[in-house]
Amino acid sequence: MTDIYPSRHAPKPQILPRHDPVVHGEWTQSAPLTREQTERFDRDGILILEDIFSPREVRGLQEEAGRLLADPSALAPDSIITEPGSNEVRSIFAIHDQNRLMARLAADTRLAGVARFLLGDEVYVHQSRLNYKPGFEGKEFYWHSDFETWHVEDGMPRMRALSMSILLAENTAHNGPLMLIPGSHHQFLSCVGGTPDDHFRMSLKKQEFGVPDRENLAALVERNGIVAPTGKPGTIILFECNVMHGSNGNITPFPRSNAFFVFNAVSNRLEAPFGVDRPRPTFIARREPAPVAPQRGPIIKEAA
């Protein structure tokens, strides 16, 4: 099978064309986003959705994330990733598979319904995680395109996926907010260097392979700038699978926690990885699509 997005093969980085549309669905009056929001997502690859959840729903999600962090004993040990150099929890993966409320959040029409529209297909959760980025200890996530990793290490064939980060704590300019390069998704930045065996054991803590070269990254920033959306808990930062992004460390006392769901089009289900022999474990990348049936209504019932 021809690899139209080759990466980590060549001795030099390359800027390759994007072969996939950004918005795969057709906007109509019944779309879950306005025409303006849809056009902005197409242009920038980023969309911020605010005031989507009720205060009760946000509080319930924050409490659940806190409970899981306080007592992860019921969770699959493999799914818990600690910070490099400490035992602080950095992420809990496959959260929609391990927690009823997070499964209901992922299936909510305000998330899965929007993903179905933008991806123009039924969707499933390719990956989910709770990111905690603890105060004082939270380390950075270096610049990367998620699609580059999902293509090379998981076997995602085309660019027909997107991420939704639901803020569970105030994301400020200080506690390591997500930084994104708007418009960077329109080209594919092919990386140099191979991929170590079981790369995920290192990359989920500190990614050093499948990262862009500094010259091309500097050129991207020069042309497009950097945005670092901040917002109150409940804000959704939605970004396209090939947008270049990263985040700085967190040396403030305030954790920067979020719930993170990756929606992939069912038609874009994983194949054999394009750059490694063995695919990553399923707690990181689901290999059997389970189409999500979007659900309406509050994810937490208001007290009677």
Closest by CA position to 180, among listed 229, 132, 218: 229
38 touches, from ligand 6CS, Fe ion, none (C-beta below 5 to 8 Å by class): none
Contact 184, 220 (CB under 8 A): yes
Contact 245, 180 (CB under 8 A): yes
**Angstrom distance (rounded) from CA 30 to CA 225:** 33
- Among 5-13, 143-151, 204-212, 219-227, the segment contacting Fe ion (CB under 5 A): 143-151
Q: Is 203 in the site for ligand 6CS (CB under 6 A)?
A: yes
Q: Is 83 in the site for Fe ion (CB under 5 A)?
A: no
| Per-residue binding letters, 130-149, with ligand 6CS (x by CB under 6 A) | -----------x--x-x--x
33 versus 94: smaller Cβ distance to ligand 6CS: 94
Closest by CA position to 187, among listed 243, 127, 104: 243
248 touches, from ligand 6CS, Fe ion, none (C-beta below 5 to 8 Å by class): none
112 versus 244: smaller Cβ distance to ligand 6CS: 244
- Among 80-88, 108-116, 140-148, 289-297, the segment contacting Fe ion (CB under 5 A): 140-148
> SS3 for 176?
coil
110 versus 133: smaller Cβ distance to ligand 6CS: 133
**Angstrom distance (rounded) from CA 295 to CA 260:** 18
CA distances for 135 relative to 6, 62, 90, 169, 250, angstroms: 37, 16, 11, 11, 6
Q: List the one residue from 44, 88, 137, 146 that touches Fe ion (CB under 5 A).
A: 146
Count the site residues for Fe ion by CB under 5 A. 1
Q: Is 127 in the site for ligand 6CS (CB under 6 A)?
A: yes
**Angstrom distance (rounded) from CA 79 to CA 146:** 19
Closest by CA position to 267, among listed 74, 119, 71: 119
Strand partners, 167: 258
Minimum gap (Å) between residue 207 Cβ and ligand 6CS: 5
Other C-beta atoms closer than 10 Å to the C-beta of 258 total 24
Q: Which residue is nearest to ligand 6CS (CB)?
A: 146
203 touches, from Fe ion, ligand 6CS, none (C-beta below 5 to 8 Å by class): ligand 6CS
22 versus 284: smaller Cβ distance to ligand 6CS: 284
Strand partners, 47: 238
Q: Please report, as ranges, the residues that interact with Fe ion according to CB under 5 A.
A: 146
State the residues that interact with ligand 6CS by CB under 6 A.
Answer: 127, 129, 141, 144, 146, 149, 203, 207, 284
